[in-house]
Structure 1
Amino acid sequence: MPPQMKLVAITLDCPDPPALALFYQQATGHEPHPKSDADFAGLNGEHGLLIGFQRVDDYRAPSWPDPNAPQQLHICFKLDEDLDVAEARLLELGAGKPDHQPHGDKARVLTDPAGHPFCIVRG
């Protein structure tokens, strides 16, 4: 039997870890990791999953769906609220909405303030 692995952390490169952590904290309600600082910030997610944000000099944001600056990572979030309501709230927090929306009414692709694409999906 192959070793069993448990995913414990996902870390996103970005130019401003505290700012990106604040965006995701406001979006998800997850608590900040107590050892967050200017170079690495984290959120304590569900089931022990840490979502981390690390400072990268000369950060180059993804340009989804344009492959010239690859998406790097794509996160999906399941919603308990209406898709339109969630989208409006996330846009107010600083998310962007690309023109390309491949999922119709099932999901929306948004980008965080550092340009990482993420989906919001109806529960």
Structure 2
Amino acid sequence: MPLQMKLDAITLDCPDPQALAAFYQQATGLEPHPKSDADFAGLNREDGLFLGFQRVDDYRAPSWPGQTVPQQLHICFNVGGDLDEAEAQLLELGAGKPEHQPHDEARARVFTDPAGHPFCLVKS
């Protein structure tokens, strides 16, 4: 019988936890964790999933799609609305959009958060 595990938390390294938490809060609508501080910030989802951001001295952003500094983690978000509208909003919030897009852009798009972590928006 396989081990039964439930994902509880994802934590990203970054240079500024508060700024990265604010980006993801605006992008997702998740609620700020009440015990966030300058070195660790978090967001809570209704079902208990926690998205955390921890300060790392001398942080080096991933170099996606290159591997000079590997991505280490890739998050995908399902979007029920229009991908063009979601892209415009993310770019306004400070996301980047790499030139290399490995998927059909009508279905999925790769972005980078302000700390350089790659993530995808996928049309539901």
Instruction: Provide the TM-score with structure 2 as the length reference.
Output: 0.96
Gaps of at least 5 residues in structure 1 are: none
Q: Moved runs in structure 1, 4+ residues, more than 3 A?
A: none
Q: What is the root-mean-square deviation of aligned Cα atoms in Å?
A: 0.8
- Give the Cα–Cα distance (whole angstroms) in 2 for the partners of residues 38 and 6 of structure 1: 28
Q: Is 1:89 the equivalent of 2:78?
A: no
Match of residue 115 from structure 1: 116
Shift of 1:72: 1.4
- Give the Cα–Cα distance (whole angstroms) in 2 for the partners of residues 67 and 45 of structure 1: 31
Match of residue 45 from structure 1: 45
- Give the Cα–Cα distance (whole angstroms) in 2 for the partners of residues 46 and 77 of structure 1: 16
Instruction: Provide the TM-score with structure 1 as the length reference.
Output: 0.97
Deviations 1:7-38 (A, max 9, x none): 10000000000000000000000000011000
- Give the Cα–Cα distance (whole angstroms) in 1 for the partners of residues 24 and 101 of structure 2: 21
Q: How many residues align?
A: 123
Q: Once the two structures are aligned, what percentage of the paired residues are identical?
A: 78
Deviations 1:84-114 (A, max 9, x none): 0000000000000000001112100000000
